[in-house]
Chains A and B, each alone.
Chain A
Amino acid sequence: MTQARARGNGTGRRRRRGGEQPMVPDAEFTSYYGRPVIREPAWGVPDVPGYLFLGGLAGASSVLAAGAQQSGYGELARVAKVAALGAISLSAVALVHDLGRPSRFVNMLRVFKPSSPMSVGSWLLAAYGPVAGAAAVSEVTGILPKAGRAATVGAAVLGPAIATYTAALICDTAVPAWHEGYREMPYVFAGSAASAAGGLGLLATHPDHAEPARELAVLGAAVELIAKRQLLARIAGGSDEQSLAEPYETGTTGAILRLAEFLTAGGLAGALLGRHSRLVSALSGASLVAASALTRFGIFKAGMASARDPKYTIVPQRRRLENVAPRH
């Protein structure tokens, strides 16, 4: 006896919200009154996207500081060290502020769990923060210059981990638009971080003294643009059915990410072509910093949107089941 399929009948089916006209018809699927299957992470705006941006800016600034110090760009190294300390301090404030019980933030260091990117990140932060701080304080005050140089190198080793672990932090969730992009997200974040740090260096330093910042900005922006394209191409799945790229491409989030891409590309071109102009260099740098922040906000919002709509959870899982064991 064939089962009388309830699809399309009654209230088990998802109801479309008022008046929305999708460009591509949604894949047919069933849900419980259109309710989300998973829950949005209990993470606030601007705290968490701000943290993603600032952590990246800090970590990559430490990379720039060490490179600039080694190759004799003293002024740029100073800017980058101060930027790293400022950004990591603000990011720590954002992180603690987002906790439901901020007074218990030290519980983050109660255990070390490699299975929790937040635990790994907390320990990284506990190690990196003081080192980046020592590098900046020594630079500005001139005390203990040898220790300061060692701290600069130390920060350049830990900083890259700070800038990239946040990709695992958001991808290690049930949020479809983040999780399915885990193979590319670390490169998007590394590129975005490098482009922000390089951009800040270009903004704050005369172009004659900012060559390493320019190189970092150009490399970072190029990596970010390519990795983000690859991420979206992968999660779109090459199917006319439900695409996980949709939350990245539609609505306000789509506009934010398109603006970010435009500013990144513009900043990249300006950094390459405007090397003799203080104004063009500074504008390019500002564009890249803004683009990095917008990219993190956009990615954050896309993930939250994919958690809220049950189709992004149900349709890929249903497709996966049907590919493994055809149902009848």
Chain B
Amino acid sequence: MSIDPAARAGHLDHPPRMGFFTDTSVCIGCKACEVACKEWNAVPEDGLSLSGMSYDNTVGLGASTWRHVAFIEQAVPASRVLSLVPSDDAPHTGTGDAAEGVRWLMASDVCKHCTESACLDVCPTGALFRTEFGTVVVQDDVCNGCGYCVGACPFGVIARREQDGQAHKCTLCYDRLGAGQEPACAKACPTKSIQFGPLDELRERARLRVEDLHAAGQDSAQLYLDNPADGIGGGGAFFLLLDEPEVYGLPPDPVVTTRDLPDMWRHVGIAAAGLVATAIALGFGKRK
């Protein structure tokens, strides 16, 4: 059954869990989300270079990149290009399925605000916390830059910023949510590829959308992180993808590392008990 992360974190009377549904099938790669995020959150610039990765010069999420638009160019049969258009009207570049066409996938990635968050679990200072909206936020005045969250995140989202030595990531615009506003990226998105709202509503909307796409012949359309039974208890941010997650740089079956922690502590306990027993054995060994 679905976990209520805000209630579990002690928010007794809390607003509904808010999140993102990113429908990549209508993303046009404009990067307005990247810009709006940087502007609103005053995230510093983190270098300009040409990556050679299609139109993606942002490359990935990081301490100073909280929205990242991925671009994937795929060679596919020409009939697959523009397949949302009825096939009679679709312009053909060649002769039928054998001809090569290009499918251009675009997707705006963001922190998943996991129901079971590894970053939050492993943070030793309490700098990372669960908000009343069920999102996960870093407190800048508490983080001591230990870097544990960085290696714990199954998506490689959170990172340490060189300038201040602290961990940073998407806050799902905690300040805007508090004022009843939607996050900057969703506000700026011109195609409603980024949708913000109560997570329950978004999940329902996403289910209908993926059914429509399947009916339109987009068999590869799939929801990602929408399922509370998955390895992170479902994402507070989830996605509609047109190919497998790894094509977009996302892990196909992420599992929060702390699910195995009780078993880890058990083995640590046995190993430590072995050392204590060794001390006792040495003490009662051959006396000098």
Contacts and interface: CB of A to CB of B under 8 A. Distances in A.
Interface string B275-288: 11011111111111
B278 A12 contact: no
A71 B287 contact: yes
B284 A70 contact: yes
B111 to A, nearest CB: 13
Interface residues of B, number: 87
B269 to A, nearest CB: 8
Contact of A215 (B146, B246, B280, B282): B282
Given A101-B165, A119-B124, A43 B282 contact: no
Contacts of B148: 41, 116, 118, 173
A18 to B, nearest CB: 15
A101 B261 CA distance: 27
B82 interface: no
Given A10-B75, A59-B275, A100 B146 contact: yes
A320 interface: yes
Contacts of B153: 38-39, 174
Contact of B77 (A4, A60, A110): A4
A115 B278 CA distance: 28
B84 interface: no
Majority-rule SS of B interface residues: mixed
B96 interface: no
Nearest to A318: B252
Contacts of A32: 70, 72, 246-249
B32 interface: no
A105 B125 CA distance: 9
A310 B251 CA distance: 9
Interface string B103-143: 10000000000000010011111110000000000000011
27 contacts: A9-B75, A10-B72, A10-B73, A12-B247, A31-B246, A37-B249, A37-B250, A64-B282, A66-B283, A70-B282, A70-B283, A100-B145, A100-B165, A100-B167, A104-B144, A117-B261, A160-B273, A161-B268, A164-B271, A167-B267, A168-B261, A168-B268, A172-B258, A189-B271, A194-B275, A216-B282, A313-B251
Interface of B: 51, 53-54, 59-60, 70, 72-77, 80, 97, 102-103, 118, 121-127, 142-148, 150-160, 164-167, 217, 219-220, 243-244, 246-254, 257-258, 260-261, 263-265, 267-268, 270-276, 278-288
* 3 nearest A-B residue pairs (beta carbon): A100-B145, A67-B282, A100-B165
Given A108-B144, A318-B253, 18 more contacts: A9-B74, A32-B70, A38-B155, A41-B148, A67-B278, A70-B282, A71-B285, A71-B288, A100-B144, A100-B145, A101-B145, A110-B126, A157-B276, A167-B268, A171-B264, A184-B267, A185-B267, A313-B251
